[in-house]
Structure 1
Amino acid sequence: MRTRSRLIVAVSLALPTLASAKMEDVSCDDSARMTNMLTEVLGAERQGIGLRDPETMLEVWVTRKSGDWMIVQNYANGTSCIVAMGEHWEAAETGPA
């Protein structure tokens, strides 16, 4: 019981920090490091990819467990930036338009 109480207190204290960290951590980084952070640290999976122009590609990353999503813009120079993020991702089923 004591261990459970300590865990609840620790999580409660960390939640405000985690919530505020989402927007503060939005930045650009080397594409390889960005991919590693998304997959290894956040547990996200790339759900879609599209060419914006000859120099720019967009990716949609989703963390299935939490439903968080991020749109990452990749540049030809090897830099990637998180340009949008949100919650409650719901995949659309493909079918006739």
Structure 2
Amino acid sequence: MLKKTFELSVLKSAALAALALMALPAVAQTSNNCAPRDQVVKRLAERYGESRQSIGIGQRGVVMETFASADTGSWTITITTPGGVTCLVASGQSYEFLAEALPVVDSDA
């Protein structure tokens, strides 16, 4: 049950990140959750012990990154514009580091 709850939480976070990517220009100009990328990365490392765990590139060159701490389990999802402005999208606890294999696809179907 806990694993299913965690998976739903991750899916919700991904959906929020997708929504944030669509609204990024407005968010980057008006939000207190945005700063130059180097400042955000430094603060996540110093304050929460988080380092980058994953990265993806979205539309118009926007970069989505996940930062997490193996020690505390805290995590943060950020998006960064091509101009270098990074915004916090979501954060939480109980991050799990996974390296799962792809499911086996049944070729008879």
Shorter-chain TM-score: what band?
0.5 to 0.7
Query: How many Å apart are 1:63 and its aligned residue?
Result: 1.4
Aligned to 1:86: 92
Structure 1 residues 28-37 or 87-96, which shifts more? 87-96
Higher Cα radius of gyration? 1
Aligned to 1:43: 49
Q: Secondary structure at the match of 2:58?
A: strand
Query: How many Å apart are 1:41 and its aligned residue?
Result: 2.9
Aligned to 2:62: 56
- How many Å separate the matches in 2 of 1:48 and 1:32? 17
Please state which structure has a larger fraction of its residues in strand: 1
Q: Which runs of 5+ in 2 are unaligned?
A: 1-31, 104-109
TM-score when normalising by structure 2: 0.60
Q: What is the Cα-based RMSD across aligned positions, in Å?
A: 1.5
Quote the sequence identity (%): 25
Aligned to 2:6: none
TM-score when normalising by structure 1: 0.67
Q: Which runs of 5+ in 1 are unaligned?
A: 1-25
The within-5 A match list for 1:21-36 is 27-36=33-42
Please state which structure has a larger fraction of its residues in helix: 2
Contact persistence 2:53–2:67 (CA under 8 A): yes
Pairs aligned (count): 72
Letter in 1 for 2:36: D
Residue 67 (structure 1) aligned to one of 57, 68, 73: 73
